[in-house]
Structure 1
Amino acid sequence: MTQFRLIASTAFGLEAVAKRELQSLGVSEIQAYNGYVEFVGDELTIARANLWLRTVNRVFIKVGQFTARTFEELFEQTKALPWPELLSKDANFPVNGRSLKSQLSSVPACQSIVKKAVVESLKERYRMEKFPETGPRYTIEVSLLKDEAVITLDTSGEGLHKRGYRKLTASAPIRETLAAALVLLSRWGPHRPFADPLCGSGTIAIEAAMIGSNLAPGHRRTFASEHFIWMDKGSWNEARQEVEDTRQRSASLEILAGDIDKEVLSLAEYHARQAGVGPQVQIVHQDVAKFQPDDPYGCIITNPPYGERLWEEREVRKLYQTMGKSFARLDTWSKFVITSYPDFERVYGDKADKKRKLYNGRIQTNFYQYLGPLPPRKPHD
């Protein structure tokens, strides 16, 4: 199979998590950069990455990289790339773009130049003057940073955070990719109880259940590269069969999703069913002040309101104080809270063991980590 240079884009702060995910898939030659991870793989790797990566935004083929300070340089070097090997003659190939700190600062102009260069390349191969663009979609992206151009082909289609289960949304939802990253950063394992007592529409608990069941996040959706004319259908069939073979349908999980708002709990229940983990997630109508699980050595991960609006701040401070008092009773549990609220630790009443800067969309947050003791080892028989 052909080997490709591939890129998995991530939110800032999640590059190391994405790298660990790729390593778990057996991928080699991985390099992490700001906002993305670069690696090498074949068609089966493309399929596996799209199906299994929980924390990345999209998977791209890196078609070329070169210095471009003029439109002529951008045109000629883009044209020289192997487009006839990647695009069918009926391909629908829109071009997206971005530019930062580059002489070619007009994004629309760069997009137009790349489009023209690809057309000229295809003309030479197919001996056609016009291309109908009625076939599969091949989205090209030109990214310019400090006059260095990177040309990529999107293999994912819709962003990978769109798992296919969250068809209804509550206010201020957390992206599925970030929710999964919080679970992976916590190092939670399915042998321990898990809870999100401020669950909203249930995304964090659902992602935990998918991780605990070894269920691929992309199992319910399709991807752009499934329709690429050169893509080996056997690779996608093999990758999807692996999803079915490795899923732990009978996994015994203790996952609780609670909230004081009955309306959002109905969304959480619906989303859990849509994700295929309805039986694994217990939905509970409960005030966080009364959260008192029986099991020891559990893990809480939650995304409470941030108080971004001035009129919400008093309510948010009160909520964080309540959380601090409630969670303090759980001295054998690990607690993880993501929020942008700058005075969180003082209001909550405890200094975190660790904190990590993450971005929830465009909002800079901290992921506060309160690490409880590990469960005692079970004696060997």
Structure 2
Amino acid sequence: MKSLNNVIYILILFCFSSNLKAQTVKQIEVAGNAPYVDHISLMPGTTDMDLLVKISFNEPNNRLTVNLISYRKLFVFQDNVRYSHAVRFHKLHPNRLPYVVESDEKAKYKMAKSLRKSIKPKRKHIFKHWIEYEGLQPQPTEYKMVNDYIEQTFDILYQSADISITLRDILVMSEQASQKKITYDLFFQTDLNRKYNISIKRDPCFGKEKEIQAAATQVKNIKAGYITLYQKFGAHSNLNNPEGAKIFNEMKALLLKQYPKMEETSTCPDIQSNIETYNCYVDTIQNMRCDFQIIKEKQTAMLGLSGDYILTTARKIDNYTNKWLLSSDNIEKKDLEVACKQAIDLIETHVGRATVINNEQQAALGIFNKAKTYFRQTCQKK
């Protein structure tokens, strides 16, 4: 007898589990300007029973909003509700729900025969709260019996924690209006059992306006310092003498002390671009020579740049040229052009003054010339 009972129990479990809808799990990503939209067919072959699920992210307020959109009017339960408690004489009664819901006093909400037959056993059946969530806190909202769409907004509790939502019971209704009353037929219900594991793609520059401005100011300041040094001690300067060389070296050392190289990096492209431009100016200042020094150095007739330095400069020119192609910011593009021209001028000035170039330097100059040509064909012809 005991073994018979065990067999019956197993059969009951099997029948119960076979009626459960398997959960659908989706891994999705949303961003401030890129909501996620999912299309669900509630009843295959019937387009007016389609459901759109829209999940959007509001970065300034750190909130997530879930919308259900349908051609039909929708109804959802805002809490788990027992069928026998909310439904009397085949009608769903708003005043029997465990929460306040907006409803027309004259309206009736009839459970269609097809829907009643699909719910077994009615006495124990529980309508499920339409949405479950993790890592989120729902914002207060007004509940309605009749909805053109469903919307719920959540506060995101932790930036780094996993968040998810699971859609459960959704009911669809049709309206039958007469002069005396309005009747809504609840004719379809399904447990979507659809889970969305949500990855939020945040803007790496969001909230970093001060850091972006500070980096841009650093570039502006070092650029002004470089221009002043170049204008005083560049070509045709009247300070091409030992005293002038001394002043030049003092000013150069002061600039390099005031503007040390930035070692940090940033995930924000705006900040990172300014860091790279700033460091390019540092390199340019570091390798500057006044005319008096150049004349003196030319007595040796040796190229005073290593092959490694020439190769590094060639790579920078290539990188800046590629960034120029991808940029839509005219100011940034102008800065990149200036940085490339300065790097090219520096190498060509040294090469023009040298009479002896070794094999390593010559090979590096071959690569440098290709980078120079690439820059001029790409940036200066557009």
Q: Which range, TM-score by smaller chain?
A: under 0.3
What TM-score comes out, normalization by structure 1 length? 0.19
Q: Tell me the TM-score normalised to structure 2 length.
A: 0.19
Judging by fraction of residues, say which structure has more helix: 2
Structure number with greater Rg is 2
